[in-house]
């Protein structure tokens, strides 16, 4: 499956049909830098709706498939087969779909959490490694240039050694039982068979955990969690507080909540070192506040030329023009494209294809959810070591 550098990658998609949330964001992201062409899909759990979606989105009828198994078989049989599949389905389906495509030799872009069990995450990561296929996991927020700038600042020692990491991901959209009023997204997210062991902690806590580890480079040594379900009748947590002990002595506090009224998409990271701190908020993603000890806080804005390669290669427009969520997601897609082309061509990836989230990050996210739920079940003294950090 070699890919000539002068052609777009052929992308297939599973899920992401009518009324779905993240599939549309993947399609925006795949289009922005012109690396991909969406040519095939099994877009819906209901095949008729999937075919209708495909027709309305200019997918050839013979490449609109009834399900992912038919898609693997149909694409394998073609000369112009897809290079990569994007898996945009609910959590419980990720493992089987990803495995089927990897086994058939395709690269994979998989949504988070990567799987619903630690066992499956370990198996999928092992398969990714042994197959040599690329498996990217869409931890969206590490696509932001300013997150790469923050990571570079921590790595350069601008903060000194890290003492405290505060990360929170509060949302309000599940503050009432919308899952029993027909909300498609809330329905599967509140069902442990479809979502996995974590509610808010799996859905958004994994993003926060990844972001904290990505920026600081620190591994979690142990954690202690308190999960709560506020909305009556719900079987998974809709609010989580997690204390984290990081290597080197840093202490973290992670809050994820789906019942935080007033918060639309309030992902926020604050990292405090011995010399300085940084703060970043996803609703104002083009800037970081840098506060040196006893010094004047400085707002560092996207587009400066001293923010490091990671930020520079992910910056599209000059400072002052807002870039946001779609651009960050597109940065992931461009990084994945470069990582896949590098594998196909037997070379090292250029800067945008480095430090992209892969199956190992997916595995660490699932291990985090597992440790959080284990710890909660051991409360009130539930310090628990994640199996992978």
DSSP E strand boundaries for 16-147: 36-42, 84-88, 107-110, 135-137
Cβ at position 189, least distance to ligand NAD in Å? 8
R_g of the chain, CA atoms, integer Å: 21
Contact (CB, 8 A) for 234 and 179:
yes
In this complex, which beta carbon is closest to ligand NAD, that of residue 209 or of residue 290? Answer: 209
Q: Is the dihedral of CA 304, 307, 308, 313 positive or negative?
A: negative
Q: Which residue has its beta carbon closest to ligand NAD?
A: 15
CB of 9 to ligand NAD, least distance (A): 19
CB of 16 to ligand NAD, least distance (A): 6
Question: What's the CA gap between 291 and 297, in Å, rounded?
Answer: 4
Q: Which is nearer to ligand NAD, 142 or 153 (CB)?
A: 142
Count CB-CB contacts under 10 A for residue 42: 29
When the beta carbons of 194 and 343 are compared against ligand NAD, the nearer one is 194
The least CB distance from residue 91 to ligand NAD, in Å, is 5
Q: How far is the CB of 347 from ligand NAD (least distance, A)?
A: 28
Which is nearer to ligand NAD, 142 or 352 (by Cβ)?
Answer: 142
Closest approach of ligand NAD to the CB of residue 352, in Å: 18
Q: 28: buried, middle or exposed (CB in 10 Å: 19+, 13-18, 0-12)?
A: middle
Instruction: List residues near ligand NAD by CB under 6 A.
Output: 14-17, 20-23, 42, 44-45, 67-68, 88-91, 93, 111-112, 138, 140, 184-185, 188, 203
204 DSSP assignment: I
Cα first-last separation, the chain: 33
Of 184 and 299, the one with the shorter C-beta distance to ligand NAD is: 184
Pick 308 or 364: Cβ nearer ligand NAD? 364
């Amino acid at each position: 499956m070699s890919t000539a550098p002068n052609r777009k990658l052929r992308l297939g998609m599973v899920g992401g049909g009518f009324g779905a949330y993240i599939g549309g964001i993947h399609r925006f992201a795949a289009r922005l830098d012109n690396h991909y062409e969406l040519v095939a899909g099994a877009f819906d759990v209901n095949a008729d709706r999937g075919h209708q979606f495909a027709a309305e989105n200019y997918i050839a009828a013979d490449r609109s498939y009834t399900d992912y198994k038919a898609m693997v078989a149909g694409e394998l049989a073609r000369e112009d087969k897809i290079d990569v599949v994007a898996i945009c389905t609910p959590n419980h389906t990720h493992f089987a779909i990803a495995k089927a495509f990897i086994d058939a030799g395709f690269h994979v872009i998989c949504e988070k959490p990567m799987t619903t069990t630690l066992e499956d995450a370990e198996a999928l990561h092992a398969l990714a490694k042994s197959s040599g296929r690329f498996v990217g996991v869409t931890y969206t927020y590490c696509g932001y240039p300013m997150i790469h700038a923050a990571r570079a600042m921590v790595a350069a020692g601008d903060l000194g050694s890290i003492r405290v990491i505060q990360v929170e991901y509060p949302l309000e959209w599940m503050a009432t039982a919308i899952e029993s009023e027909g909300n498609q997204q809330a329905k599967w997210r509140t069902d442990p068979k479809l979502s996995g062991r974590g509610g808010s902690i799996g859905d958004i806590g994994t993003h926060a955990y990844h972001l904290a580890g990505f920026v600081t480079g620190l591994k979690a040594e142990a954690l202690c969690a308190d999960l709560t379900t506020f909305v009556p009748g719900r079987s998974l947590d809709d609010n989580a507080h997690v204390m984290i002990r990081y290597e080197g002595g840093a202490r973290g506090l992670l809050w994820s909540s789906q019942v935080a009224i007033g918060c639309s998409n309030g992902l926020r990271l604050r990292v405090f070192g011995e010399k300085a701190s940084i703060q970043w908020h996803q609703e104002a993603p083009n800037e970081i506040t840098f506060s040196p000890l006893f010094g004047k806080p400085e707002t560092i804005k996207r587009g400066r030329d001293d923010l490091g390669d990671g930020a520079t290669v992910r910056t599209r427009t000059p400072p002052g023009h807002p870039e946001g969520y779609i651009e960050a997601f597109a940065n992931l897609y461009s990084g994945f494209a470069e990582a896949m082309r590098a594998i196909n061509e037997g070379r090292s990836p250029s800067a945008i294809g480095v430090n992209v989230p892969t199956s190992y990050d997916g595995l660490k996210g699932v291990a985090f959810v597992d440790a959080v739920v284990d710890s909660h079940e051991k409360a009130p003294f539930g310090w628990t070591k994640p199996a992978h950090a």
